């Protein structure tokens, strides 16, 4: 199954996903509209109370690979903090389709978690279904007194300069490896492109391919290698990725893009990329990685959970956001998210805003990691939690200044297709970086018209 998130759809997909597999492919659980009876978590019983909320309040959320344990627990706490509030939960694996008639009729829930099959935040914005929260979010603080925007890993995406939704789940592409394999051979984790090249030569000399990717779905090598390289080559200015998404004239043939393509072309010409990659789907490439046929794989944070039934007992998953930065440069993480929004025709906007202020805290982020195996879009110290080592390691990157988290960018479908095809051709040595730029720029020019 193709799993794409870049976009819109961090832990179609955080870990996207650590438990669901790739991206947002989590529509595998039964359930429809339901008013649920949550069970509170003892560790979560001391949330600051919010008073004065009354009336009816409805929350719509998709239940997939993340399950519903976090939602039930969180909503139970919010209910205890607001005993006079009548909370209804509309949830399930097919909830987006079931609720569609109500959205069309102008009778939506108050808050919606936008994820799973049948959901598209951009479409909901274009259909004028979501509340413009631009002004409110600038000064909104969570129940711990922290500005919400300050605690987020990934900032809300602006549509036409306005904000309509907030990333709730955070996932990111990156490069995965077996820590046990590196330790066994005395290999050091690369911290920049030069050290990656040096390590790749050492790996290659042992008969192992340094790098393998999913050629059928080039989004993986885009997110783990090419896009970080472009941002690094642009002096760590991620705005170039936004310009690519907006199809700015000439951007696909710009110097940062060509410099990044040269790196991808270089590791191909040095035979550091497994030659089978171009024909592999996600599970095939991941299986070869687990079998140590290759040492590194660009992938999403869902990888560990998706392959848990096939992972050798002595395999130790580890993660580094990027390997293409220059010495001393920042790591670059390319994210995918799933968001939360308030309906424009919400009947209880006050409760909806209060719920968002209640949810976006470090404690709820910790609880989310433990209950889902994925990352919530709030910086938190997970070291003492039961989250996996990969999740903890990823959060440590995102929570300090060593990593630049790029904005979520959605590409024109025709440009994306041409970019995918050109990237595979480049990794095979069939075209040059300049030809890649010409092909994708031509597709963008056509799309602009």
One domain, residues 312 and 425: yes
The torsion angles phi and psi of 398, rounded to 5 degrees, stand at -75, -20
Instruction: Kindly state whether residue 1 falls inside one of the protein's structural domains.
Output: no
pLDDT of residue 16: 34
Instruction: Kindly state whether residue 23 falls inside one of the protein's structural domains.
Output: no
- Whether the CB-CB separation of 335 and 6 falls below 8 Å is answered with no
One domain, residues 135 and 204: no
Instruction: Kindly state whether residue 441 falls inside one of the protein's structural domains.
Output: yes
One domain, residues 220 and 276: yes
One domain, residues 267 and 352: no
Instruction: Kindly state whether residue 28 falls inside one of the protein's structural domains.
Output: no
pLDDT of residue 9: 38
Instruction: Kindly state whether residue 398 falls inside one of the protein's structural domains.
Output: yes
Local structure of 183: helix, strand or coil: helix
Instruction: Kindly state whether residue 12 falls inside one of the protein's structural domains.
Output: no
One domain, residues 325 and 340: no
Residue 83 is part of a domain; what is its CATH number? 3.40.190.10
Instruction: Kindly state whether residue 363 falls inside one of the protein's structural domains.
Output: yes
Cα end-to-end span (Å), the chain: 32
Selection from 296, 298, 286 nearest residue 224 by Cα: 298
CA distance 35 to 67: 15
Domain housing 430:
173-333+411-448
One domain, residues 255 and 196: yes
User: Exposure pattern of 200-232 as b/e (b: 16+ CB <10 Å)?
Assistant: beebbeeebbbbbbbbbbbbbbbbbbbbbbbbb
One domain, residues 308 and 356: no
One domain, residues 315 and 398: no
One domain, residues 201 and 91: no
One domain, residues 371 and 243: no
One domain, residues 159 and 235: no
- Whether the CB-CB separation of 171 and 115 falls below 8 Å is answered with no
One domain, residues 178 and 256: yes
Which one-letter DSSP state was computed for residue 373? S
Cβ neighbors of 97 (< 8 A, separation 6 or more) are 117, 118
Instruction: Kindly state whether residue 423 falls inside one of the protein's structural domains.
Output: yes
The three-point CA angle 209-210-215 to 5° equals: 75
pLDDT of residue 24: 38
Cβ neighbors of 225 (< 8 A, separation 6 or more) are 175, 213, 263, 264, 298, 322, 323, 324
If one counts the domains in the chain, the total is: 2
Residues of the chain with pLDDT under 70: 1-51
């Amino acid at each position: 199954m193709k799993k794409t998130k870049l976009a819109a759809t961090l832990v179609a997909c955080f870990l996207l996903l650590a438990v669901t597999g790739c991206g947002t492919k989590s529509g595998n659980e039964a359930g429809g509209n339901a008013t649920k009876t949550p069970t509170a978590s003892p560790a979560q019983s001391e949330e600051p109370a919010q008073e004065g909320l009354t009336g009816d309040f409805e929350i719509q959320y998709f239940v997939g690979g993340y399950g519903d344990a976090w939602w039930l627990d969180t909503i139970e706490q919010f209910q205890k903090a607001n005993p006079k509030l009548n909370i209804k939960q509309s949830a399930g694996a097919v909830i987006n389709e079931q609720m569609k008639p109500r959205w069309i009729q102008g009778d939506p829930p108050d808050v919606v978690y936008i994820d799973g099959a049948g959901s598209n935040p951009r479409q909901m914005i274009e259909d004028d279904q979501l509340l413009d929260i631009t002004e409110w979010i600038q000064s909104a603080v969570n129940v711990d007194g922290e500005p919400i925007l300050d605690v987020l890993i990934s900032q809300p995406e602006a549509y036409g300069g306005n904000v309509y939704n907030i990333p709730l789940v955070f996932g990111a592409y990156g490069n995965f490896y077996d820590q046990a394999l590196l330790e066994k051979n005395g290999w050091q984790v690369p911290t920049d492109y030069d050290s990656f090249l040096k390590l790749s030569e050492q790996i290659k000399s042992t008969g192992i391919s340094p790098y393998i990717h999913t050629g059928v779905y080039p989004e993986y090598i885009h997110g783990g290698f090419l896009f970080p390289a472009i941002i690094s080559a642009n002096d760590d200015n991620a705005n170039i990725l936004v310009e690519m998404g907006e199809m700015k004239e000439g951007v696909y043939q710009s110097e940062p893009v060509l410099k990044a393509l040269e790196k991808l072309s270089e590791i191909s010409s040095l035979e550091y990329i497994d030659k089978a990659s171009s024909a592999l789907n996600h599970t095939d490439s991941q299986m070869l990685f687990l079998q140590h046929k290759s040492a590194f794989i660009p992938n999403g944070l869902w990888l560990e959970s998706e392959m848990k039934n096939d992972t050798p007992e002595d395999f130790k998953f580890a993660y580094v956001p990027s390997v293409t930065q220059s010495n001393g440069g920042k790591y670059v993480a390319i994210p995918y998210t799933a968001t939360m929004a308030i309906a424009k025709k919400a009947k209880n906007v006050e409760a909806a805003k209060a719920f968002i202020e209640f949810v976006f805290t470090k404690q709820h982020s910790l609880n989310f990691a433990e209950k889902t195996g994925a990352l919530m879009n709030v910086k938190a110290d997970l070291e003492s939690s039961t989250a996996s080592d990969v999740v903890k390691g990823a959060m440590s990157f995102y929570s300090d200044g060593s990593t630049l988290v790029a904005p979520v960018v959605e590409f024109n479908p025709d440009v994306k297709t041409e970019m995918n095809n050109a990237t595979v051709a480049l990794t095979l040595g069939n075209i040059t970086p300049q030809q890649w730029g010409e092909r994708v720029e031509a597709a963008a020019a056509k799309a602009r018209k």
